[in-house]
Amino acid sequence: MIQLIDVHKRYSNTGDALRAVSLDIGQGEFVFLTGHSGAGKSTLLRIIALLERPTQGQVLVGGHNASKLKAKQIPYFRRHVGMVFQNHRLLMDRSVFDNVALPLVVTGLGHQETARRVRAALDKVGLLKKERAVPITLSGGEQQRVGIARAVVGRPSVLLADEPTGNLDPQLSREIVSLFSDFNQVGVTVLIATHDVALVNRMRQRTLVIQEGEVWEGYFPEPA
């Protein structure tokens, strides 16, 4: 599903962010990406989501070679990828419902079908009663769940999360990660970047470690 071959990313001002990174994540996998802040986690996620292009190397996501995609195709590519951010990236001047509906609105889905799917996503994250609320009135955990609802409402094949539990206490973090597990259960490939080692250890899922721009396998669960 996600394949990186010898990917290198260099920023002109900060130097190498990624060096010769190769990884392969299959369909339906649940993978953690850990490492210190600044180790290159975000860069890696950005490259997978085609928010950035690698300096060199191949990126294959969803059967597409990133370097071969035309600019016109990228929006359609992104509709297959759900993204969750540490700072949620919600639109503060719109209701929870409207925020979650965005990925469907851009596809031109009909009003009724949109409403139905938005409510299903909000129900899944336990925020159905807050659909009329404005994000600023919600707690950090609730805002993150709105972000997750927005990421999954378009039924993506891949869910990428960058420090989704960054600002949350352990109890809320567990709830958030268990949500990702639920989506993984129904076949969504999940990649979560986090520096929360305790959380990663507890989950006992495949873990990739990134350090100084290089990636290696940290933990690989025994086949059940």
Comparing CB distances to other proteins, the nearer of 102 and 133 is 102
**What are the residues whose beta carbons fall under 8 Å from the beta carbon of 214, sequence distance 6 or more?**
18, 19, 20, 21
Residues 14-43 that bind other proteins (CB under 8 A): 27, 42
Residues 82-141 that bind other proteins (CB under 8 A): 83, 85, 89-91, 102-103, 106-108, 110
Comparing CB distances to other proteins, the nearer of 124 and 174 is 124
- Neighbouring CB atoms inside 10 A of 11's CB total 11
- Name the amino acid, one letter, at 96: V
User: Using the rule CB under 8 A, is 75 a contact of other proteins?
Assistant: yes
Site string for other proteins, 161-200 (x = CB under 8 A): -x--------------------------------------
Please report how close the Cβ of residue 181 comes to other proteins at its closest, in angstroms: 22
User: Using the rule CB under 8 A, is 204 a contact of other proteins?
Assistant: no
Please report how close the Cβ of residue 222 comes to other proteins at its closest, in angstroms: 27
Beta-bridged to residue 60, according to DSSP, are: 3, 65
Long-range contacts, stretch 99-103, CB < 8 angstroms, 24+ apart: 99/135, 99/146, 99/150, 100/131, 100/146, 100/149, 100/150, 100/153, 101/153, 102/150, 103/79, 103/150, 103/153, 103/154
Comparing CB distances to other proteins, the nearer of 6 and 93 is 93
Comparing CB distances to other proteins, the nearer of 76 and 220 is 76
DSSP code at position 195:
-
Q: Which helix (H) or strand (E) holds 220?
A: none
Decide if 141 contacts 168 (C-beta within 8 A): yes
Query: How many residues touch other proteins (CB under 8 A)?
Result: 37
User: Using the rule CB under 8 A, is 54 a contact of other proteins?
Assistant: no
**Which residues contribute to the site for other proteins (CB under 8 A)?**
1, 27, 42, 45-46, 51-52, 62-65, 68-69, 71-73, 75-80, 83, 85, 89-91, 102-103, 106-108, 110, 150, 154, 157, 162
